[in-house]
Amino acid sequence: MAENKTLRSTQWFGRRDKNGYMYRTWMKNQGTPADMFDGRPVIGICNTWSDLTPCNGHFRELAEWVKRGVYEAGGFPLEFPVLSTGESQMRPTAMLFRNLAAMDVEESIRANPLDGIVLLMGCDKTTPSLLMGAASCDLPTIGLSGGPMLTGRYKGKELGSGTGIWQMTEEMRAGRMSYEEFTATESCMHRSKGHCMTMGTASTMASMVEALGMSLTGCAAIPAVDARRNTYAQLTGRRIVQMVKEDLVMSKILTRGAFENAIRTNAAIGGSTNAVIHLLAIAGRMGVELDLADWDRIGSEISCIVDMQPSGRHLMEDFYYAGGLPAVMKELHDAGLLDTGALTVSGETIGEAVKDAECWNRDVIFPYDKPFKPASGIAVLKGNLAPNGAVIKPSAASPHLLVHRGRAVVFSSIEDFRARINDEALDIDETCIMVLQNCGPKGYPGMAEVGNMPLPPKVLRKGITDMVRISDARMSGTAYGTVVLHTAPEAAAGGPLAVVRDGDIISLDVPNRTLTLEITDAELATRLKDWTAPPLPERGYVRLYVEHVMGADKGADLDFLVGKSGTPVLRDSH
């Protein structure tokens, strides 16, 4: 243990008075022996298991393996539940509840006798919410992802989570696939425990945790049903006890260098645009200076070296067998693109952790000097349509549309879009730019993954598979296309996106990082002056959220949760 370091749990269990008696005696009703309160580290296992979060449905079992490791290392494991945000089931969007889950995590840690934390996370928003909440407490903390599903298979072909859905939906809308064929693939796509096996947001964020140094090296890509996932869980349990003894807190790991490593790694794996918002929010909780411009400056010219859906062909099983994230970070290491001195939860630096990693399949993980897609990291656009920025993922876009000028076809909401997009009379063709308003943090509310708007059937029937789309929404990490997202300020906050009209000409120039509404400054000012803000929600968390959520360019966190806060000693309750 670090010299003169007093365990936080001693403030509860080490007391020789009435309160100490009360803290210990109620814990003993579970059969806990007296020597578990003898000053050994108490480890909280923060579990996002829920039947309503299918990606995390195996976490009860995974937690037991963590407990084994904690006991072996001389710790006292105590599992506790927190709000579980399942992307596949929650309405209007799991993102609305990310900050609420982070509050649950933070307050659960603060209120209880915990010395170190293991975060069990898998589905999209469970990973950032747990990291955000734990970062606000700054205890020794280690992440453990639940792992991806096995590769989906249907009639001899591979199916990727989400990506396959978007592809088959377009085929059905174009009349090239029957509804019966479409539904027959359901149990074939998701056929094992685990989260999405494409490089969607779940796999991206698991990779970000590893790239940040917040999990054991090699953890991100192991399939959920692989026995080595349980092995890593047990090793994670062992390691967190040592981290407590070393006083290896989150702020020693989540440094500026760690975030820069994650940004570069996200580009190299073709990661989700959602990582932008989540890493900005996590950095905000740690008090680390990070902004939207950093994503372009640090990561936009990094090449994508992983051929995986939605940017490519392969899936997470292939990625793991090819060497996983350590092999990718080894390529960045050798290219001089890593802060090799950034610390990891293992106690090693990231440079030490990946220097001997090997790649076993160059069809999946390419050499950095012969990349899958050169200079294809997330690009940040600015202009009079996005004064605070917007993002696009070039590796998932059509190259011929990265510079495009077209007529706007505007949808005022996702309901308006759904009501009109299939109308054969809609005045739209493949040269147009589809614009979706009021789907940002305040506008949806929650900033749903509706930015990858399906194309109109009459365009699909021409064989066209992509058009430029612009919104203040997000896009599923499993989706693809020339889609401009996170436009800030958002429409519901009075951003210029709110006043785009049908027929306006919009110019997109990704190489020059511009997004321009071709009207005069005077006309734009007049339109904004006439804009009226939408009414606030009536009550509850949603009202709190809309009143306090920041823009996408700030990570969409609640304004009163930003900034490093640490772990105060709470008053006694008795």
- Rg of the Cα trace of the chain? 24
Taking 60 as the threshold, does the pLDDT of residue 402 lie above it?
Answer: yes
| CA max distance for the chain | 79
With cut-offs at 50, 70 and 90, classify the pLDDT of residue 3: very low
Look up residue 398 and give its amino acid.
S
Has residue 2 got a pLDDT over 60? no
The fraction of the chain above a pLDDT of 90, given in percent, is 91
Express each pLDDT in 293-326 by its tens digit: 999 999 999 999 999 999 899 999 999 999 999 9
Q: Which residues contact 543 (CB under 8 A, 6 or more apart)?
A: 536, 537
pLDDT at 163: 86
Confidence of residue 479 (pLDDT cuts 50, 70, 90): confident
Percent of the chain that is helix, strand, coil (3-state, to 5) = 40, 15, 45
* CA 138/CA 133 separation, integer angstroms: 9
* Residue 94: both structure tokens together: 């799991």
SS3 404: strand
Residue 279 has pLDDT above 50, yes or no: yes
Of 171, 112, 169, 161, give the one whose Cα is nearest residue 139. Answer: 112
Kindly report the backbone phi and psi dihedral angles of residue 440, in degrees, each rounded to the nearest multiple of 5, phi listed first: -85, -165
Q: Which CATH superfamily is domain 10-150+196-289 in?
A: Response regulator (3.40.50.2300)
CA distances (Å), origin 30, targets 26, 34, 65, 81, 262: 8, 12, 19, 17, 41
Q: Are 506 and 433 in contact (CB under 8 A)?
A: yes
Q: What is the pLDDT of residues 500-514, one digit of tens each?
A: 999 999 999 999 999
- Helix (H), strand (E), coil (C) string for 213-243: CCCCCCCCCCCCCCHHHHHHHHHHHHHHHHH
* Token pair 């739209």: residue: 428
Burial classification of residue 252, based on how many CB atoms lie within 10 Å of its CB (0-12 exposed, 13-18 middle, 19 or more buried): middle
Rounded Cα distance, 469 and 484, in Å: 6
- Residue 68's CB is within 10 A of a number of other CB atoms, namely 17
Residue with tokens 């292939």: 318
Q: Domain coordinates of the chain in residue numbers?
A: 10-150+196-289, 153-186, 379-534
Q: How far apart are CA 377 and CA 389, in angstroms?
A: 16
User: How many Å apart are CA 441 and CA 295, to the nearest integer?
Assistant: 20
Which tokens hold the place of 171? 């085929």
| Position 565 confidence tier, pLDDT thresholds 50, 70, 90 | confident
Of 150, 165, 234, residue with least CA distance to 454: 165
What is the rounded average pLDDT of the residues 34-62? 96
Taking the chain, what is the end-to-end CA distance rounded to the nearest angstrom? 30
Polymer length of the chain: 574
Query: DSSP for 454-479?
Result: PPPHHHHTTT----EEEESS---TT-
Average pLDDT over residues 521-549: 96
Separation CA 84–CA 51 (nearest Å): 10
pLDDT average, residue stretch 285-292: 96
Confidence of residue 569 (pLDDT cuts 50, 70, 90): low
Helix axis angle, 256-269 to 274-286, nearest 10°: 170
| pLDDT range class, residue 1, cuts 50, 70, 90 | very low
CA distance 208 to 401: 29
Q: Predicted confidence band at 39 (pLDDT cuts at 50, 70, 90)?
A: very high
| pLDDT confidence of residue 162 | 86
Phi, psi torsion values for 282, nearest 5 degrees:
-65, -45
φ, ψ of residue 276 in degrees (nearest 5)? -60, -55
Q: Where are the alpha helices (DSSP H) in 247-365?
A: 250-253, 256-269, 274-286, 292-294, 316-321, 324-334, 350-354
> What does DSSP say about strands 433-436 and 403-411: parallel, antiparallel, or unpaired?
parallel
Cβ pair 365, 331 in contact under 8 A: yes
CB burial of 104-132 (b: ≥16 within 10 Å; e: otherwise) equals bbbebbbeebbbbbbbbbbbbbbbbbbbb
* Residue 551 near residue 488, CB atoms below 8 Å: yes
What value does the mean pLDDT of the chain take? Answer: 95
Listed in sequence order, the residues at least 6 apart from 150 whose beta carbon sits closer than 8 Å to its beta carbon are 191, 192, 194, 197, 223, 225, 317
Buried b (16+ CB within 10 A) or exposed e, 213-223: bbbbbbbbbbb
CA distance 267 to 306: 9
> Are 10-150+196-289 and 379-534 in the same CATH fold?
no
139-143, 179-183, 259-263, 405-409: lowest mean pLDDT where? 179-183
Q: Read off the DSSP letter of residue 57.
A: T
Q: Where are the alpha helices (DSSP H) in 350-504?
A: 350-354, 414-420, 457-460
CATH architecture designation of domain 379-534: 3-Layer(bba) Sandwich (3.50)
Mean pLDDT of 61-71: 98
